[in-house]
Structure 1
Amino acid sequence: YCYPYIYTLNNQAPNARCFSVGDTEKRFMGVMNETVVGGGQVIDWKEKGEVVVIPGLWDGHGHILALGEMLEGVKLYGLGSIEEVRISLETHLKANPTLGTKEKWLRGIGWDQSLLFPDEKNPHMPTSNDLSSPLLSDKYIMIDRVDGHCLWLSAAVIKLLPDPLPTHIPGGEILGNGSVFCDNAMDMVYDVYPDRVLDRAKVIARAESAMKELNKVGVVGVHDAGMRKWEVEGLRWMAEMSISSVRLNIMVECEIRNTYCGGEGESGVRNIMGRTENGMLSVYGVKIFADGALGSWGAALLSPYSDKPETSGTMLINSTALQNVITEWYNSGYQVSTHCIGDLANHLTVQIYKDLLSTSHYTPPNHARRLRIEHAQIIAPEDQDLIQSLGLIPSIQPTHATSDSPYAEIRLGRDRVQNSAYRMKSLFDRGLNVVLGSDFPVESHDPRNGIYAAVTRKNPYTTKEEGWHKEETITVQQALEGFIKNPAYAMWAEGETGEISVGKWADWVVLGYEDEALGAKFWEEGWVEKGGDVRRLKVLETWVGGRKVYDASAEER
């Protein structure tokens, strides 16, 4: 395979013109700096502008099955009034008249109370009455908040829940006059949700839909942040049958969140651990949830919220239980990935990790176990130092910083934002293997948006001129490491992927850029400063395991 320019991300040989792929192993067998006679694609690349090839992109934190589900749902991102929400729901229902029944609820994602009620200092949560209209009033509707940590329910769904509703839920709360269920309170809603348990056919259908969309934007692999055993088994079947078009590294969740299920037997996950022979599916660890999200005041903070001083957020599990469950998984040999948004959640988790790694003989101490912090959003300076000394893996979503920027300082105050929140450059500069992702479907699954947000600190969905806290911008090279090389390290696959070199999985992306003056070598120093826009890169082809899984020219036809 020969291309005008190949950027390998291999430090010893960063540039190439051609590579070969083994027929059986589906790995790169040769990487060459010169064009091979008779090699290359039967495509006139000149018509596509300047064309480059890079290793396949990974999303370091996403949710495959949720993306598959939400592809069928309503998108409410950025809507600025209840009326706009109603119109969107009604439009979707008219186009999909079988939705909204007790057997098949109308689903959606993306609402934000701060946008729905912009004139309020502390915007209240919406209610089921806000979903009332002649078309919607009797429908079963469940809509995720933009961060995925609250559910807004219609009256029909609420009638399925216990009456009266509990007044105290450890690690959760019910808001919006009994219409919005946040964090651990969401469990009672999922208990009555008809799609709580999917049959294998539905798991496969949702995964295939999601993978197709991911391939379109150059994604070849995903670290899936939370999946139950029976879901993993369906995806393992897809991987072993070579149906999958996206490689998956899955963090398991127990049927009861934040518990231990690492044993043998039907309810244990020990027998689903490991990597398939073709490398399409890997399972090595567990996802633990420490706290909620900032937008709904659920992130657990060391000191109270600036705009809601009566609360410091919500730990979804108390500190003793958190230590016990992480320790049990760790001592059983599993990789632990802990969801931490607030600085209290990060502090407690880092301290637990420190104690567990105290007997490590590796440098850094975390090298063998590769413990992760998912989101790592607000971290006190002293805990940033500890993360560095331990070599912990922060898993960060660049678009969370830009999406949260309108209210982050309102929630946290200037000092916490300046010194603790949404670190990127600070963590890369500490030499950490920072993994970058999107948290799709909470954010866009397109890594071009994530790279754009990381290198500009601008919201990729708007046209704002100034970046937010630009001192934390990273280089395009660092962003590519976060979306390609570091996800490999985080799953013990640095010998298998992360660059185009001999012996690695044959995954690559063909990109084009129509501005000939700038060219498509977007990783070169100064490209962004000269006006280059990563969002304008065109994904022409995506290849996984030597197989073309997306072809833009075929889509155009």
Structure 2
Amino acid sequence: MKYIRQRVLAAFAILALAISGCSTHETADTIFINGTVYTVDETNPKVEAVAVKDGMIQAVGNLQDILKFQGDETKVVDLNGMTMTPGFIESHAHMMGVGYNKLEIDLMYVKTYDELVEKVAEAVEKAEPGDWITGRGWHQDKWIEKPDNMVKGFQTHEKLSAVSPDNPVWLRHASGHAAFGNAKAMELAGVNNLSIESLQGEVEGGEIIKDDLGNPTGIFTERAEGIIGKLVPQETEERAEQALELAIQECLRLGITSFHDAGSGQAYVDRLLRFKEQGRLKIRTYTMLTGTQPELLKEWADKGPMIDPDHQVTVRAFKLHTDGALGSRGAWLLEEYSDRPGHFGHETVPMERVGQVALMALESGFQLCSHAIGDRANQEVLDQYEMAFNKFPDLNPKDQRFRIEHAQHLSLDDIARFGEMNVIAAMQAIHMSSDRPWAIDRLGERRIVEGAYVWQKLMEADATVANGTDAPVEPLDPLPSFYASIARKTLQGTPEGGYEADQAMTRAQALKSYTLDGAYAEFEEDFKGSIEVGKAADFTVFDKDIMTIPEMEILNTKAMMTVVGGEIVYEGK
């Protein structure tokens, strides 16, 4: 009897402890209930509800478990059956470009050269004579109708110049790797038949496109853009702040909680810090310092990375720009372009410089991110990375997380090297959707099949693939890129079965590429990127279940709520 009584007392004690434990749960600030929650946590991939305390995830689980964290002051957010994921991370885009796109002529959606000319004519009517007309977003390979007069795959300036005789016009290509100027802009820059002839149409790392008679067509590629670009009036800080504000709001509207800016200067960093201090920076930012300013990289290398304990403004990467884009035939290839014999693209930064910056990054604790699209550019950059790692045998290359931005077209021999050196492939799946229909003309079928947009081959080589859009090259909306990741089709749903379908991501891989892999690419995977206890309460809520709906419906899905640090910073209608 004594033994039984002891067991009963012990049982009551355990029950009392259990009840006490439940009653002493620290109440949550907010709980999110009645949703489908995809956590990107392999051990607990799908839950019903989430509790948040002090901006961090307090608990995840089923509804009954999470309701235990509800107190008198707890805000209850009913998701009404919507789908929650970790906050989407844009791993490669251009913040100020996104903002300025809303302040200039947006040419992303023009479908013909004539439509582009019409937009410029409208802008000229509102401008004073002599004012610069600027814009971005045109892409001749996406036009549904090509102009009659084309030189080396591009339109010529005559129609543009006719509608803007007194206003210099400068229109950047969607890729950022070419620009289109009118006669007035070329006149101001001193570009004419004679100057072109003396330059043979080429400048170091770029080209001034000319016709058979040596006349400039108005197209400037790669570094040649600077000939006219340097004349465009500098932006004011007031306008820059306006652009940043617009870009932040666009991120929040689209469910983006973190943003990797792919190449900016000190003024941008200072602007971010000012916005943070003023409470206007509602997202988390990770900045790559532009390699176009060597003195800037040296200055930061001397003082080291800026890692924000608040996880809002971190500066920990250098960005180099080693070749051009396929659209402008500037991507640097091992073999000549299929549609332009004898042309191999451009090396826009000497490879010796890549090696120097790689060593400087390793010495100072910075990540190096190198733009490389063509297979030769990727190979040469990997060679420079390997050389730098070999000079620091005590450093584990896998800990450095160097990146290649885009990695669109790879030689078969180089794919495994991404995994071996833990070089992150920061790729934008939407580029496959937009570019693949015409990229085959640039590369030919063999090179496309073997090494273009090879996400599965990279992941099978144990490489991390981080997703994004390269906005404003493409629209900032992550869902078309998510769709392209799994469908490998155009946004019109073609072709049936997708392009090189064996390289498509699963939906789980695509979600991870936009969340946890993006966090890993900025050394933040222990802080964000998945819905786990102890991580930041950064969430994106969609009106449809992107993990189960038919793939075309993904393009009609909207972000209905964006949460950063537990705060609802955007709600859709």
TM-score range for the pair, normalised by the shorter chain length: 0.7 to 0.9
- Among 6, 29, 34, the alignment partner of 2:58 is 29
Aligned match of 1:204 in 233, 241, 250?
Answer: 241
Deviations 1:381-411 (A, max 9, x none): 1111222211210010111112111221111
Matched, 1:392 2:423: yes
Q: Specify every segment of 5 or more residues in structure 1 that has no aligned partner in the other structure, as ranges.
A: 514-519
Aligned residue in 1 for 2:369: 337
Tell me if the contact between 2:113 and 2:147 (Cα under 8 Å) persists in the aligned partners. Answer: no
Structure 2 matches for 1:35-50, cutoff 5 A? 35=64, 36=67, 45-46=79-80, 50=81
- Output the CA distance in 2 between the equivalents of 1:226 and 1:461: 32
Tell me which residue corresponds to 1:550: 570
1:130 Cα deviation after fit: 2.3
Alignment match, 2:306: 274
1:263 aligns with 2:298: yes
Which of 157, 160, 169 is residue 128 of structure 1 equivalent to?
Answer: 157
Secondary structure of the structure 2 residue equivalent to 1:160: helix
The offset of 1:118, in angstroms, is: 6.8
Which residue of 2 is the match for residue 516 of structure 1?
none
After superposition, the Cα gap between the structure-2 partners of 1:452 and 1:43, relative to the gap in structure 1 and judged at 3 Å, is: same
CA deviations on 1:111-154 (whole Å, 9 max, x unpaired) are: 325736377897542233221345x3322321111211001012
Question: Which residue, 451, 463, 468 being the options, matches 1:420?
Answer: 451
Higher helix share: 2
Identify the match of residue 253 of structure 1 among 276, 286, 290.
290
Partner of residue 438 from structure 2, selected from 407, 414, 424: 407
- TM-score normalized by structure 2? 0.85
2:137 maps to a residue whose letter is I
Question: Contact 2:355–2:387 at 8 Å: present in 1 too?
Answer: no
Contact 1:17–1:32 at 8 Å: present in 2 too?
yes
Equivalent residues of 1:103, 1:194 under 8 A apart: no
Q: Distance in 2 between matches of 1:392 and 1:362?
A: 18
Distance in structure 2 (CA, Å) of the matches to 1:121 and 1:33: 61
What is the CA RMSD across the aligned residues, in angstroms? 2.6
- Residue 330 to residue 272, structure 1, CA distance change in 2 (3 Å): closer
Distance 1:463 1:383, change over 3 A: closer
CA 207–292 in structure 1, closer or farther in 2 if over 3 Å, else same: same
Report the counterpart of residue 535 of structure 1 in structure 2. 555
Q: What CA deviation, in whole Å up to 9, does each residue of 1:462-485 have, x standing for no partner?
A: 665442221211111101111100
Q: CA deviation at 1:304?
A: 0.9
In the alignment, does 2:350 pair up with 1:318?
yes
In the TM superposition, residue 155 of structure 1 has moved relative to its aligned partner by 2.3
Alignment partner, residue 517 of structure 1: none
Q: Distance in 2 between matches of 1:270 and 1:543?
A: 36
1:438 to 459, 469, 482: 469
C-alpha deviation, 1:93, in angstroms:
5.3
Question: What amino acid is the match of 1:378?
Answer: H
Partners of 2:543 and 2:226 lie apart in 1 by 45
Percent of paired sites with the same residue = 26
5+ residue gaps, structure 2, are: 1-30
1:68-98 deviation digits (Å, cap 9, x = unpaired):
001123333354432221123334555xx24
Partner of residue 209 from structure 2, selected from 175, 178, 181? 175
Q: CA deviation at 1:107?
A: 1.8
**In the TM superposition, what whole-angstrom CA distance separates every residue of 1:284-328 from its partner, at most 9, and x where no partner exists?**
011101111111111111111111111111111233333333333
Distance in 2 (alpha carbons) for counterparts of 1:62 and 1:154: 28
Counterpart of 1:109 (choices 134, 137, 141) is 137
How far apart in 1 are the matches of 2:130 and 2:518? 40
Change (3 A) 1:359 1:11: farther
Separation in structure 2 between the aligned mates of residue 461 and residue 217 of structure 1, nearest angstrom: 21
- The number of residue pairs the alignment matches comes to 525
Alignment-derived partner of residue 3 in structure 1: 33
CA distance in 1, matches of 2:566, 2:109: 39
**Equivalence map 1:457-476=2 (5 Å):** 457-460=488-491, 465-476=496-507
CA distance in 1, matches of 2:393, 2:60: 36
Q: Deviations over 1:181-220 (max 9, x none)?
A: 111112232321213x542x33322111011111111111
The separation in 2 between residues aligned to 1:473 and 1:118, in whole angstroms, is: 35
C-alpha contact (below 8 Å) 2:454/2:503 kept by paired residues? yes
Classify 1:486/1:366 alpha carbon distance in 2 versus 1 (closer, same or farther; 3 Å): farther
2:282 touches 2:569 (CA, 8 Å); kept in 1? yes
